[in-house]
Chains A and B, each alone.
Chain A
Amino acid sequence: MAVSKDRRGDEMLEALFQRRLPFSGAYRAASVEEPPTAVDEAILAASRLAAASGPRQLGCSHRRWRMPLAAAAVLTLAAALALVLQDQAEVSLTQGPALQPPRVSAAAKARPAAPSGERIPREGGSIEAPPRTAPEKVEAAPTSRAPGAPPGLRRRVPSSAASSPLEPPTAGAAAERSMDQAAGAGTAARRPPVPGSAPVPDPRQWLAEIHALVAAGRVQEAKSVLAEFRKAYPDIELPERLKPLESRIPPR
């Protein structure tokens, strides 16, 4: 019984798809409803309107994405640039400090001119906080002992950093060069008083060493080196990161 019912169902199905089912033809004959003319007109008008503005709609769609896309690209570039600059600064500190020129205080500006040939901080410059440096990298760099630095602290040989291929020209490096040029030309600023006749290290290197000590957690050593630095350069403004260290040094 069930088999014959299934067979009849299959036959009807076959007849349906061959368009020879009696009530299928009857349905097509009876089913003659059409959409109202108003609906036809509305749809066709909308299609024409859309076709007329088709390219603009496509453009609008693209424009919707343009601003967020541009913003995302700018943010990505900015983040990448920041990372690259940070990496470069770390590399340069590893191989040697690349401090930006220190700011000369108003008092220093007011002092009489220094003798020719003395290296001085460039006017209008400022010492910015050097980036953090891994202590082991400082240790690994080609070193020479810094005068006034505590035992164990090494610093780089300046010429090796200047010729390092890892250090691309940056704003800081350019400022350093201009400072060196200004020092070589002998500007009118006065060199800070130096006790004794021993050569005084470059303030930028000194600050970098102090910063490296702080980064290594050797705060006491950093304080003592900073005290030495202050004796040699009382007027140079410290980088922001080192200012708290100075405030902890008892006034002399």
Chain B
Amino acid sequence: MSAYRDGDAGAFGVLYARHRGGLYRFVLRQCGNRATADELFQDVWMNLIAARDRYLPTAKFSTYLYQVARNRIVDYFRARSRYPQMAEDEQEPVDPPAPPANQPERQVEAHRRAVRLIALIEALPFAQREAFLLHEDGGLTLEQIARVTGVGRETVKSRLRYALSRLREGMEEWL
């Protein structure tokens, strides 16, 4: 990001390629539908581009990126006058990729398992889902998640424990 800030256009391409998938999925799981995810995802990168002159490498870039994304998501829910946690019941479930036709039984089973897992993740409370996704999609550590979400390390651990417990209960028959 520092290289891009200093005028290296290629550096942005490298960053984007590295983080685009994880960030997109993080946004998608948090907002719940693809159209909104596309819009928010694009906003995050555009904000990053616009604010490149002010970028200071005080933390790992992924921490900075996910912090920007998280702020954008929170703003989105605020603008819709509903707290993110309230959105859980209303959010539109994301359609998982359809299983290819004529696939073996094992693949169908894996697909059903994936659908179940994603549904469970999307049903998690906002803060627990956020902590889980920041680790899974963003690859952030406990400390980085704490920094992005603005809470203490122990709070993050607690959220993750609850999230994992729920996922484990929901996936018990698949494990």
A→B interface (CB under 8 Å): 5-6, 8-10, 12-13, 16-17, 21-24, 26-36, 39-40, 42-44, 46-48, 50-52, 54-55, 57-58, 61
Contact = CB atoms under 8 A, between A and B. Distances in A.
B114 A35 contact: no
Contact of A26 (B34, B41, B117): B117
Contact of A9 (B34, B52, B121, B165): B165
A61 B50 CA distance: 12
> How many residues of B sit at the interface, in one of the four size bands?
35 or more
A34 B41 CA distance: 11
Interface of A is mostly: helix
B167 to A, nearest CB: 6
B94 interface: yes
Interface of B is mostly: helix
Contact of A12 (B9, B53, B97, B164): B164
A21 B135 CA distance: 13
B9 A51 contact: yes
Interface of B: 4-5, 7-9, 12-13, 16, 20-21, 24-25, 28-29, 34, 38, 41-42, 45-46, 49-50, 52-53, 94, 96-97, 110, 113-115, 117-118, 121, 135-137, 141-142, 157, 160-161, 164-165, 167-168, 171, 174-175
Contacts of A48: 9, 12
Nearest to A8: B165
Nearest to B27: A35
A21 B8 contact: no
Contact of A50 (B49, B137, B167): B49
